Amino acid sequence: MSYAPPPRLLAAAHAVGIPQVCYLPGFLDRQPADALLARALADVDWRCERLTMFGREVTAPRLVAWYGEAGTAYRYSGVVRRATPWYGEIRALALAVGAALRWRFDYVLVNRYRDGDDMLGWHADDERDLGDEPVIAAVSVGAERVFRLRPRRGGASTAQTLGHGSLLVMWGRSQRDYKHCLVRTRAPVGERISFTFRRLANS
């Protein structure tokens, strides 16, 4: 049986205008969202990634970290990322997101956008490690940033601003039929962190 979020969550969420994508603005209250941002900025083991793009090594315009259940590993952009076992607030957040969505997550890719120059280009989370119809849940804290989705078959993109404490959920065919990105901005913006939870298909 394929996944769908619980009806109560869907009733509280905003439709984004794309099937099998929804947005919940106040998933975390302001105070826990502030605390999560402060702790993550201070405690997370941030990495600056080197990626191979079109045969050239480039520095990714963001910082990243990855955590999960002990023993999990995720391959993307040709590199295997073995999770640092999650603990404390990241594990608590994984459990809270899992409980809200009635789904078990075992891995999180954490992205830190230091300012408006940091971004994430068009992609889909469709790696083989995630299985056929992955459920991706992204909790955002910090500065508001614009997230876009566009159909792979062509056509206009749709924008959704991701606010402090929000939850964006993508499931079903959304990775197969759409790509998404986090847009660069010239506006002066502060730090933003996204926790993008996944479940590895082989776990």
Ligand X SMILES: O=C(O)CCC(=O)C(=O)O
Q: Which residues bind ligand X (CB under 6 A)?
A: 109, 111, 120, 125, 138, 140, 147, 162, 180, 182, 194, 196
CB of 125 to Mn ion, least distance (A): 4
Region near Mn ion per CB under 5 A, out of 38-46, 79-87, 121-129, 156-164 = 121-129
Please list, in sequence order, all residues whose beta carbon lies within 8 angstroms of the beta carbon of residue 65, skipping any fewer than 6 positions away.
Answer: 44, 45, 46, 47, 84, 109, 110, 112
**Which of 106, 118, 125, 129 lies at the binding interface for Mn ion (CB under 5 A)?**
125
Q: In terms of DSSP bridges, do strands 136-142 and 158-162 run parallel, antiparallel, or are they unpaired?
A: unpaired
* Phi, psi torsion values for 161, nearest 5 degrees: -75, 130
* Residue closest to Mn ion when measured from CB atoms: 125
Distance (Å, whole) CA 168 – CA 93: 14
Nearer to ligand X, 7 or 128 (CB): 128
Please list, in sequence order, all residues whose beta carbon lies within 8 angstroms of the beta carbon of residue 41, skipping any fewer than 6 positions away.
Answer: 112, 191, 193
For the record, the structure tokens of 65 come out as 């970290």
Of the candidates 144, 141, 137, 126, the one whose C-alpha atom is nearest the C-alpha of residue 182 is: 144
Query: CB atoms < 10 A from the CB of 202, how many?
Result: 9
Region near Mn ion per CB under 5 A, out of 6-14, 17-25, 44-52, 120-128 = 120-128
In the list Mn ion, ligand X, none, the entry touching 118 (Cβ below 5 to 8 angstroms by class) is none
* Residue count, binding to Mn ion (CB under 5 A): 1
CB of 65 to ligand X, least distance (A): 11
Nearer to ligand X, 5 or 113 (CB): 113
Contact residues toward Mn ion (CB under 5 A) are 125
